[in-house]
Structure 1
Amino acid sequence: MELRDYITVLRKGWVLIVVLALVGVAAAAGFSLLKKPVYSASAQVFVSTETSGSASDLAQGNTFTQQRVLTYSNLVQTPIVLLPVISSLKLDMNADQLATMVSATAPTSTTLITITVNGTNAVQATEIANATSQSLTNVVQNIEATDANGTSTVKLTRVKQADVPQTPVSPNVPVNIALGLLVGLALGVGIAVLRETLDNRVRTETDVEKISDKPVVGGIAYDSKASERPLIVQVEPRSPRAESFRTLRTNLQFLDIGTGSRTFVMTSSMQSEGKSTTVANLAIALDSAGFKVILIDADLRRPRVSEYMDVDGSAGLTDVLIGRAGLEDVAHPWGRGNLVVLPAGQIPPNPSELLGSKAMQDLIGTLEEQFDYVLFDAPPLLPVTDAAILSKKASGAILAVASGKTHKGQLAAAVSSLENVGAPIAGFVITMMPLKGPGAYGYGRYGYGYGYGLDEEQPTQRPSQPSGKSQGKLGVLRRANR
């Protein structure tokens, strides 16, 4: 991951990071409040050796004392030292329990022993520290070697008496809160990065670019009411989502596909990625700009165009391909412009064969002479091969990619299926783009611009459809060619 990827992860997961940081602070504060305060009291003992006073004796005595200091410090936690302390202070504990409260340290190259006692009672901790230093002094004098007069050669002197501590050493509230904050932030960032690493869905244009070098020609904002108003360009032309289809129309006009024809197959990796509503709205946007457009439902398995465009779908493309009807008999003029809709017709038993037939090739050639744009709504690529077969005959395929829904593996497989048959890919349209957060639809490349006003006349409601039966079906294509 690059630096910008990490920044994107932080922007997408900032809520989780902040929540976990607050949880860490709350947990640390709660722990600090619930934990009993611990006080620390220390006493210090000096170790010395009795010598004759000569230089050599002093050197030997000093070396001997430093060697013995470590031994004496280890004696502090033994029962021989602690049992007298328990007896003198009348403590309700045994030597092992008291040993957990007492510790001793001896700084290097010194003859000092520091005895420290930690406990929840400040006064008791002080008494134990002083009593332990005195007990250690008595024990050493009893067990160490004596001279000819019976006097111990080693002497322990308490040089620092323990005082009652006023403030506890634990819990350290500021330190605990800082640690809780750091742990919470680390967990939040770690989970956010892990979630992003394991996320195999296409969410942004960058994800598409990593799979194919073909351009992303448009982005369509998510609309929770898309099923209720699929033709948003017609019913609400001033909305930001309608403007996104006009942006797609503009990008499509300047798309260099290397051929003079403008025949596009709208498809997707899997179903429910918004391809049908996208191609229908694109057709209306092209029509409103004055282009002659024919919208053909080539999804001969689950046709939807006739439902969206509200035309009779009992006869259509299949009838034309098998020679049962002429194009002028089954195509429907739509709206007030030059848009013609050709529904799928009856669902055939052999959709792939029909779409790959010579009749389809001839039909595309005829339509390209009569219309500025020929748009096909084709089935998804992964379940069936229909779209790949049809795309090979067209100027290019446009893949609809649902943001946050399409898996990267599915998109890669769809691209491969087109490349394997030699079908050109014109570009991608990212649908269902979020309205907030990183990668959201907004004022960027696919934004709706200043004022999002209309530059062409648009009806505010869907016009009634002319009756094909009253005017004659042959008039459909004649009208489109005016």
Structure 2
Amino acid sequence: MEIVTAVDRARAVARRWPLLLVGALLGLALGLVATKMVATGYVADAKAFVVVAGKQDTADMSAASSYAEGQMSSYETAATSPLVLDPVIDKLKLDMSASELAKQVTATATSKSFVLDIMVEDSDPERAASIANAIASQMDAAIKTLTPLDQAGAKPLNAVTITPASADDTVSSSSLVRNVAGLGLLGVLTGLALALMLEALSASRATAARTGGPEPSPRRRDLDSTLDDDGSAV
């Protein structure tokens, strides 16, 4: 039995390089078509910063900061809740419910920096930016609602938009590079599989040609031994 090494396989693939090329080109074409067929979305990003409000002494500021740090994960939840989204819907006159809008919103809080990152995905870049900015602005009212009064009877925390979203800065959520690269790689792998299959078939035929055909079965050998050259029984 002939042993096929990795070098033999590499040479076989090299001989079938047109299949790899065709596979890659087909994959790239399919990636482009798939990306065009999928509705393109845009992601806008706004950042709100949670700060201690008013004039606070050192002890009160430290207490308010500690409280804010512990509440950052709660502010994530609030950003996608009706408490924040209902006023945003009313302000922008959006034709959707809070639960529907929540599916387009992702809020991520960083406790150490007190920054709430608000990302909104929408088919329109202008609307995505408007929603992100409205949510960031509404977080100030939400945080005031959720925060208890301090000893002076005031709300100790505010939310300030430090990085407003802009339609010019939105990015497409449909990854052209990912789609094209992924299907291009799939095309190459398909071409590689076909190349190896064809090379194996070619090698099998070559082996059969050198040996005069496939090895006869034991029953056929026994039958042949009972016949003479003319085909008559011995």
1:182 is aligned to 185
1:99 is aligned to 102
Is residue 34 from structure 1 mapped to residue 52 from structure 2 by the alignment?
Answer: no
The answer (yes or no) to whether the contact 1:38–1:121 under 8 Å persists in 2 is: yes
> CA offsets per residue over residues 215-236 of structure 1, 9 Å max, x none?
xxx96xxxxxxxxxxxxxxxxx
| TM-score, structure 1 as length reference | 0.41
Q: 1:2 to 1:62 in 2, by over 3 A?
A: farther
**Separation in structure 2 between the aligned mates of residue 46 and residue 8 of structure 1, nearest angstrom:** 60
The CA RMSD measured in Å over matched residues stands at 3.3
1:75-474 alignment, distance < 5 Å: 75-107=78-110, 109-165=112-168, 168-190=171-193, 192-193=195-196, 195=197, 202-204=204-206, 269=214, 344-345=229-230, 347-348=231-232, 350=233, 354=234
Q: 1:176 to 1:162 in 2, by over 3 A?
A: same
Matched letter for residue 30 of structure 2: A
Q: 1:200 to 1:40 in 2, by over 3 A?
A: same
Q: 1:175 to 1:84 in 2, by over 3 A?
A: same
**Separation in structure 1 between the aligned mates of residue 165 and residue 213 of structure 2, nearest angstrom:** 80
The answer (yes or no) to whether the contact 1:40–1:165 under 8 Å persists in 2 is: no
Whose helix fraction is larger, Structure 1's or Structure 2's? Answer: 2
Q: 1:197 to 1:65 in 2, by over 3 A?
A: farther
**Separation in structure 2 between the aligned mates of residue 109 and residue 53 of structure 1, nearest angstrom:** 21
Q: 1:138 to 1:52 in 2, by over 3 A?
A: closer
The answer (yes or no) to whether the contact 1:49–1:155 under 8 Å persists in 2 is: yes
1:74 is aligned to 77
Report SS of the residue matched to 2:167.
coil
Point out which structure has higher relative CO (alpha carbons under 8 A, 6+ apart). Answer: 2
Once the two structures are aligned, what percentage of the paired residues are identical?
A: 23
Q: 1:167 to 1:62 in 2, by over 3 A?
A: closer
Judge which range, 65-74 or 180-189, deviates more.
180-189
**Separation in structure 2 between the aligned mates of residue 156 and residue 108 of structure 1, nearest angstrom:** 14
**Separation in structure 2 between the aligned mates of residue 36 and residue 83 of structure 1, nearest angstrom:** 26
> CA offsets per residue over residues 154-184 of structure 1, 9 Å max, x none?
2212222221226642334344323322222
Report SS of the residue matched to 1:202.
helix
**Separation in structure 2 between the aligned mates of residue 132 and residue 124 of structure 1, nearest angstrom:** 12
**Separation in structure 2 between the aligned mates of residue 6 and residue 267 of structure 1, nearest angstrom:** 25
Q: In the TM superposition, what is the alpha-carbon distance from 1:32 to its structure 2 partner?
A: 2.0
Q: In the TM superposition, what is the alpha-carbon distance from 1:13 to its structure 2 partner?
A: 4.4
Q: 1:144 to 1:176 in 2, by over 3 A?
A: same
Q: In the TM superposition, what is the alpha-carbon distance from 1:84 to its structure 2 partner?
A: 1.3
Match of 1:64 among 60, 64, 67: 67
Aligned positions, number: 223
**Separation in structure 2 between the aligned mates of residue 106 and residue 162 of structure 1, nearest angstrom:** 17
**Separation in structure 2 between the aligned mates of residue 43 and residue 78 of structure 1, nearest angstrom:** 17
The answer (yes or no) to whether the contact 2:13–2:195 under 8 Å persists in 1 is: yes
Q: In the TM superposition, what is the alpha-carbon distance from 1:6 to its structure 2 partner?
A: 1.8
Q: 1:117 to 1:66 in 2, by over 3 A?
A: same
Report SS of the residue matched to 1:106.
strand
The answer (yes or no) to whether the contact 1:83–1:95 under 8 Å persists in 2 is: yes
Structure 1: unaligned runs, 5 residues or longer: 209-217, 220-265, 272-297, 302-317, 319-343, 355-482
Q: In the TM superposition, what is the alpha-carbon distance from 1:27 to its structure 2 partner?
A: 0.9
> CA offsets per residue over residues 172-219 of structure 1, 9 Å max, x none?
4344323322222133324544x3798697344xx68xxxxxxxxx96
1:468 is aligned to none
**Separation in structure 1 between the aligned mates of residue 212 and residue 195 of structure 2, nearest angstrom:** 33
Q: 1:192 to 1:60 in 2, by over 3 A?
A: farther
Matched letter for residue 124 of structure 1: R
Q: 1:107 to 1:166 in 2, by over 3 A?
A: closer
1:53 is aligned to 57
The answer (yes or no) to whether the contact 2:12–2:199 under 8 Å persists in 1 is: no
